[in-house]
Structure 1
Amino acid sequence: MRIVLNNWFRIVLVLVVSLTLVANVAMARDKNVTGTKTNDLNKPAAFGETVIAIGSVHNYFSNSTYTRAGGQDEQTFIIGDDGWSSPSMGWLEGGYPDNYYLYFGMCRMAANGNEIRFNNLTSEDWSVVKNDPNAISPYEVTFSISDELGGSLAQGVRARQTIHAWSESYRDDFYILEYDITNTSGAAYTDFYVWLHMDCDISAPAGGSGTLGLHMDDFPSYYRGVDLNGNPEFLSYMYDADNPDIDGDDTGGKLTPKESLGFIGSRVLDCPPRAGEGPETARTQSGHQWWDWNSDPQVGGEYYALCIKEEFKANPGSPHDYRYMQIVGPFEIDPGETIHVAFGYGLGEGLKGLRANLQWAYDLYWNDFSGPAAPTAPHVDINSGDRWVKIAWDDSTSENSEDPLT
């Protein structure tokens, strides 16, 4: 049987579907209401998802370009769960493990005046490795994606994301995010940018919704300098500031103990030198941007315009619902060439704690992911007789052992 719809019914049906989609996105972005979960139409053919929770930081990752709750295609790498049905940068060391510090984040890229639009259907090679002695870390997640099905918007890029996590106390407060980016076009890129776009909501309601919502008293900032070893140190971060609509100073939370003491942020670990510049520009950040929820860039060209400013934007005048953008580039990428970009992303108590934790990420990355090592065991001799035991050891080997990290 064939059913024929007349024109007016078709129009009503389209309007109902459109309004439903808009409502779902709006609900997810309300930050107090969970939207409709991503359906199967929004997932890659070989869909993969996982929560990395072996350390103090817990976060949801997948190989979909769609936000999990809102169902919005961001056409890039997604970090976190915007519906908070799974952890989104929850932090055990903060004392409130169910308080999440991230709404959701992304790693975005741009070239030739516009954003790279990765296509969900090209997502492949999803791999989760746990407790493999040959792996770099005890928990690794990787997949690749390209923009090859983007039609006229495709520029020719394939990128692979690899995430590392650990459980030891000195490296359990962060993830290391690596991106291998390949030029699959027939022309060179001379202006390729990469950035982390983080919409952090820290981390528990200040007293309700509206101006008292958990997302309304956040504050973005940055740090740039050199670490104690003379290496470039570039961070973008956010924290819970004093909500002016609440009596007293509720910086870091209003409970006892404070429920939002964590500073959440990222540090540049690795990137090539900037196009046309010397090796001293490797591992450096070229810009830090922020905006509030009323000013989200609407098209890829608006993101690119923020990149080429190469500006470290001055801090805002007051807390609000902000996002930050940590930018590296521009880079030159010849046809067929692959560049490597890496960030450390995590939490710490105060800026000092965040810097200390991300310093571990930096040192770990640049020491081939090898952590501190125990000294070489001394040679021990044991002799015993009637009611006596003699223990002797030569500790010169142990005393002279070198820690490969420090």
Structure 2
Amino acid sequence: MKRVFLIVLDSFGIGELPDAAKFHDEGSNTIRATSTSKFFSMPNMQELGLFNIDGVDCREKNEKPTGSFARMTEVSQGKDTTIGHWEIAGIQSPKALPTYPSGFPKEILEQFSKETGRGILCNKPYSGTDVIRDYGKQHVETGDLIVYTSADSVFQIAAHEAVVPIETLYEYCKIARKLLVGQHGVGRVIARPFDGEFPNYKRTTRRHDFSMFPPKDTMLTNLKEHNFDVIAVGKINDIFAGQGITEYVYTKNNDEGIDRTLEYLDKDFNGLCFINLVDFDMLYGHRNDIDGYAKALTSFDNRLSSIMDKLKEEDILMITADHGCDPSTPSTDHSREYTPWVIYGKPVKENMNLGTLDSFSDIAKTIVDYFEIQSDIAGKSSLKDIIK
């Protein structure tokens, strides 16, 4: 039996891409920004080779890393969660998903309001914490829904759980998902529930993403079609709209995501366990909280040894990211950055620097090759380079 554990440290970028200026992200470097915090400590990732990756210069390199490693280039035209994960799974997106810097068109909102029976507030790009601060009181008083977006291709609906029950909010998201197709096919419709009393509203953990269906086969569908297990931890099932998933579990935070990963390490299965740890992005990157981001990275690194200790003879651990979210820049949006790819396990060569690779999709191609599947998904395999 073979198992691959693929962990996405959501938004852990390692330096601006050559086209960062096109995305207004010149100078972004999430790892460098977080490394300035006194709370930043990643000795286990250092041991695996994180700081030996091309362009990473915020800590000393390890003379003899125990893993293989690479710097990953995003070729898709975007910097959001959906585009990044799709590319990791083998879909390269030459056309950007639609964004709405001036808000959503009138015809979309009128139809959405008609089908939900509720009015609309905001309809602007907004920070998720700021939007409930500025519109939460009016929402509670009127029952109107807070609809907002960001620099990403997202349609977000915020509602107080005492005003709109959580299952009703999910139904409203499904309505929006059906409306947002074709030219308005945003990557994700996101439920953003909150609670509390004005002015101290707080978002709850029952966020839910309603994604577009992937437009092509991915490594997930390839694996499932060949009777391999495809286990999704965190928001992976939502990102891929359930396509290619054989089992899934949702998580409230990074710690629970790691707990579930450790449980799957103790189970017998044959295939892929795909994990997203979202706190780096959701709680710290978007809030420009350098110390919080650094503490979350340190916490992950502290628990990484437990993951490594449970790996079996044929297991491979891969750690990567889907985009950047530099908490030191004025922007609170994602940043267009390279991402790391760190690979470890008993079958994996030590101290193998793969250099700078052309696409996140090389991860997908390497994984399907490890499971000896013939696939036409995008990407180039690095399997022969990393396996002993």
Q: TM-score when scaled to structure 1?
A: 0.24
Larger helix proportion, structure 1 or 2? Answer: 2
Larger strand proportion, structure 1 or 2? Answer: 1
